[in-house]
């Protein structure tokens, strides 16, 4: 495939198969390019049928041509020993995974499903983001326009028990003890419209049973409730706050509108809340970078993309392109957790060479995914192979942050993710710490290599689960159900 034809593929930096928050598990980040009619994908196997062996052969051909770590691929691997395309891919990438370079970032997904998600955030489910903490499960975010929020479930709600009706409720603690996190995914049911569950929940209004059914909805990348705010930080200082859930195309114009307003108000200090952002489209990350680049030159490098040696003709340097809506940051505080990965890490790392100590990582260490995927399609079978094919680095050549960005960012401040307060609340612990950084107040640095919440508050690691058979939304929006 030529560089010109590769340009017709959508690049993504997004979540992997089993992303975890709080600093462990596998996370996301990929570059994806769906081929168009003018740029057909590589020829499928000799048979056009969708037999398992043909689908596996197609996946192997994609990896052999494009995989960023070709030296790790086995010289021979019999696909007959594997009962699915994904199981075969997992075996092919096992060596790189053991090295921490491909933590389930290479996978097969549905072309139709993925296109719908990246175009509009379309998915199906209850519309919540869940996190495990010990033997308990909490809702850490609820999405507008989805069933859960309409039923009164929001951030901070604890799920105590799950059943198909009130007579067969099983406690979350029992499910986790006997079946682990996979048992919770099973208890919540498939992501098909109409799947109904009775949940026993507890929140500020007390404990009660509610019935909620899964439905189609669109994840809004910037919440209509707290996605964009101007916060009074005292002393006449105003701070622009953006909470970005995911990098999909519908975010582009939302971001332009938000930053145009910040620019009109003369705001130069920002908090960018990426705490659960598993990544997404590289093109949207570049839009965000450009909107934060009012004081950058067009010669300044945003990022460098590097492919394997045999595909080096596709390497590219992306320079900042300030827009009419662009702001000129003096300080940026980026809020992160172990669920922050890929495209969000790309944006953060890209400002380190220019803002230095004035660009801070707030919260806890990020996931660590400096690589991305391209997507190649076996159209007749609705198979899209997302293969790790390139690495990203910033203008200073920093790109080897597989253990997270705490060792790359010049300033860091440890803080808890306080789910007892709404996102965007200036008194929420991570946002409060970010505002303190903007104001010049001191903080406790994040320990490099520490992978959960701040050491001062960590008692049990909070994990954002991703089901084994995750859909596109669940890969990129960690913990979503």
Work out the pLDDT band at 10, boundaries 50, 70, 90: low
Work out the pLDDT band at 164, boundaries 50, 70, 90: very high
Residue-level pLDDT at 454? 40
* Rounded CA separation 92/245 (Å): 31
Residue-level pLDDT at 468? 80
Q: Is 390 helix (H, G, I), strand (E, B) or coil?
A: strand
| Residues β-bridged to residue 377 | 384
Cβ–Cβ < 8 Å for 280, 14:
yes
Cβ–Cβ < 8 Å for 409, 106:
no
How does the average pLDDT of the chain come out, rounded? 90
Non-local CB neighbours of 75 within 8 Å, separated by 6+ positions: none
Residues in the chain: 481
| Residues β-bridged to residue 319 | 301
Residue-level pLDDT at 411? 98
- State how far the alpha carbon of 408 is from the alpha carbons of 333, 336, 370, in Å: 14, 14, 12
Cβ–Cβ < 8 Å for 334, 350:
no
Rounded to an integer, the average pLDDT of 114-122 is 96
Number of H helices, E strands in the chain: 14, 22
Which is nearest to 294 in space by CA: 264, 273, 318? 264
pLDDT tens-digit map of 383-442: 999 999 999 999 999 999 999 999 999 999 999 999 999 999 999 999 999 999 999 999
Compute φ and ψ for 312, nearest 5 degrees: -60, -20
C-alpha count within 13 angstroms, C-beta hemisphere, residue 151: 23
Compute φ and ψ for 92, nearest 5 degrees: -65, -35
* Rounded CA separation 262/242 (Å): 11
The domains of the chain, with CATH numbers, are 3-120 (no CATH), 124-218 (2.30.42.10), 228-370+391-455 (3.90.226.10)
* Rounded CA separation 73/315 (Å): 22
The per-residue DSSP string of 369-405 comes to --EEEEEEEEGGGTEEEEEEEEEEE-TT-----TT-G
Compute φ and ψ for 183, nearest 5 degrees: -65, -35
State CA 167 to chain mean position distance. Answer: 37
Residue-level pLDDT at 231? 98
Global pTM value: 0.91
- State how far the alpha carbon of 70 is from the alpha carbons of 40, 67, 342, in Å: 23, 6, 21
| Residues β-bridged to residue 213 | 196
Cβ–Cβ < 8 Å for 159, 175:
no
* Rounded CA separation 83/92 (Å): 14
DSSP state, residue 137: E
Q: Name the token pair of 169.
A: 């409720």
Run of H or E including 340: none
Work out the pLDDT band at 337, boundaries 50, 70, 90: very high
Q: Taking 70 as the threshold, does the pLDDT of residue 365 lie above it?
A: yes
Residue-level pLDDT at 28? 37
* Rounded CA separation 30/106 (Å): 9
Residue with tokens 């997404």: 280
């Amino acid at each position: 495939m030529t560089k010109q034809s590769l340009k017709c593929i959508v690049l993504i930096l997004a979540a992997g198969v089993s992303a975890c928050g709080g600093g462990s598990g596998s996370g996301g980040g990929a570059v994806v390019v769906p081929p168009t009619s003018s740029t057909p994908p590589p020829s499928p196997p000799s048979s056009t049928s969708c037999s398992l062996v043909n689908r596996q052969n197609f996946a192997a051909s994609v990896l052999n041509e494009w995989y960023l770590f070709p030296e790790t691929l086995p010289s021979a691997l019999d696909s007959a020993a594997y009962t699915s395309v994904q199981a075969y891919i997992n075996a092919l990438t096992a060596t790189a995974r053991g090295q921490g370079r491909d933590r389930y970032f290479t996978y097969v997904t549905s072309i139709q499903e993925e296109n719908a998600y990246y175009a509009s955030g379309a998915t199906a489910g209850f519309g919540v983001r869940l996190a495990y903490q010990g033997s308990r499960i909490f809702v850490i975010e609820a999405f507008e326009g989805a069933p859960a929020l309409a039923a009164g479930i929001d951030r901070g709600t604890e799920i105590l028990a799950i059943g198909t009706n009130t007579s067969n409720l099983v406690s979350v603690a029992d499910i986790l003890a006997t079946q682990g996190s996979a048992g919770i995914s099973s208890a919540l049911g498939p992501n098909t419209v109409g799947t109904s569950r009775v949940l026993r929940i507890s929140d500020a209004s007390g404990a009660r049973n509610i019935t909620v059914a899964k439905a189609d909805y669109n994840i809004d990348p910037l919440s209509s409730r707290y996605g964009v705010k101007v916060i009074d930080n005292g002393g006449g200082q105003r701070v622009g706050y953006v909470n970005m859930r995911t990098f999909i195309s519908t975010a582009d114009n939302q971001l332009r509108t938000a930053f145009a307003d910040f620019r009109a108000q003369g705001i130069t200090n920002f908090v960018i809340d990426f705490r659960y952002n598993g990544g997404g489209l590289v093109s949207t990350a570049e839009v965000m970078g450009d909107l934060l680049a009012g004081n950058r030159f067009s010669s300044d490098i945003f990022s460098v993309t590097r492919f394997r040696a045999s595909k080096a003709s596709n390497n590219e340097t992306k320079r900042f392109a300030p827009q009419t809506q662009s702001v000129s940051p003096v300080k940026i505080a980026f809020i992160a957790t172990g669920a922050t990965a890929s495209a969000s890490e790309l944006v953060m790392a890209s400002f380190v060479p220019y803002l230095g100590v004035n660009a801070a990582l707030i919260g806890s260490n990020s996931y660590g995914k400096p690589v991305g995927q391209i997507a190649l399609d076996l159209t007749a079978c609705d198979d899209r192979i997302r293969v790790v094919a390139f690495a990203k680095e910033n203008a200073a050549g920093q790109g080897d942050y597989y253990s997270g960005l705490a060792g790359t960012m010049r300033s860091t401040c440890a803080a808890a993710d306080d789910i007892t307060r709404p996102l965007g609340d200036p008194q929420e612990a991570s946002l409060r710490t970010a505002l303190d950084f903007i104001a010049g107040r001191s903080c406790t640095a994040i320990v490099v290599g520490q992978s959960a919440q701040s050491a001062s508050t960590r008692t049990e690691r909070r994990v954002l689960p991703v089901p084994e058979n995750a859909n596109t939304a669940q890969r990129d929006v960690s913990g979503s159900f």
